[in-house]
Amino acid sequence: MNIHLDGEFAFGLNRIVAARLTTGQEINNEMVDQLQLEDAREGAYQQALLLLSYRDRSELEIRQNLQKHEYPDPVIGHVLARLREEGMANDERFAQTWVENRGTFRPRSRRALRMELQRKGLDDDAIQTALREVNEDALAYDAAMKRARRFRTLDWTGFREKMSAHLARRGFPHSVVMDTVTRVWKETHTEGNPIDDEDMT
C-alpha cells in the first residue's frame, strides 16, 4: 500500500504492516523507521515462504535467496529465527529428507551425499545424523538397477566398463562398485550372455 505523509507519497508498505495505520494518523520519524523495518521483515518472510513452497530448504539456501533479493543481514537473521520457531527451517530435518530422496530417486555414495550436504551449508552433526543409516551396498545396487536396462545389450566387458563408470560418478568406492557390477550382471543377463566367474576378476 502507498503511504502518503502531508499529502505526498512517502513510501510503500506491505498490506499486513500497513493494516495498523489509519487515515489521518500522526506518525513521527521513529515510527516511520519501525514501519519500514517491519515491512522489510514481512517482505523477506513472504519471500522465504515462497521459496519453501517448492521444496524444503537449508538455512543457507534461504539466506542466499534473501541476499539475492537484497534484504539486509539483520532482516534475514530475524526471518530465519522466525522460521525456526515455526518449524519451517530445520537443517536436521532437511538433511534427513535430502538423503532419503536421493536414496529413492538418485542413489549416491555416503561421500557424495556428504559433499552435497556440505554445499547446502549443513553442519557436521546434522550430516552425521542423516548419514548414520546409509547403506552404500544397497544404494549402489539401486543405482545400478536403475541403469541396467540401458546396458542390457552389452557384453560383459562393455557392461562392466559402463556400469563401473556410472557408479564411480555417483561416488561409490571401488570395492562396492565391483561387487555391485558383478551382482547386477548376473541378475539381469540371460543365458545368452554367459560369462565365467574367472572373467569377473
Tens-level pLDDT at each residue, the chain (201 residues): 555 455 555 555 666 655 565 565 566 667 666 777 888 888 899 999 999 999 999 999 999 999 999 999 999 999 999 999 999 999 999 999 999 999 999 999 999 999 999 999 999 999 999 999 999 999 999 999 999 999 989 999 999 999 999 999 999 999 999 999 999 999 988 654 444 444 444
Strand partners, 2: 12
Give residues with Cβ within 8 angstroms of 107, minimum separation 6.
139, 140, 142, 143, 146, 170
Provide the strand spans (E) within the chain. Answer: 2-5, 8-12
Place of cell 545424523: 129
Predicted TM-score (pTM) of this structure: 0.75
Place of cell 522460521: 83
pLDDT for res 185: 95
Q: Which three cell numbers stand for residue 41?
A: 521483515
pLDDT for res 34: 74
Q: Which three cell numbers stand for residue 67?
A: 541476499
pLDDT for res 14: 62
Which of 198, 165, 196 has the alpha carbon at shortest distance from 181? 165
The CA-atom distances, in angstroms, between 100 and each of 32, 94, 141, 201 are: 47, 10, 16, 33
Pairing status of strand 2-5 against strand 8-12? antiparallel
Query: Three-state DSSP class for 45?
Result: helix
pLDDT for res 63: 97
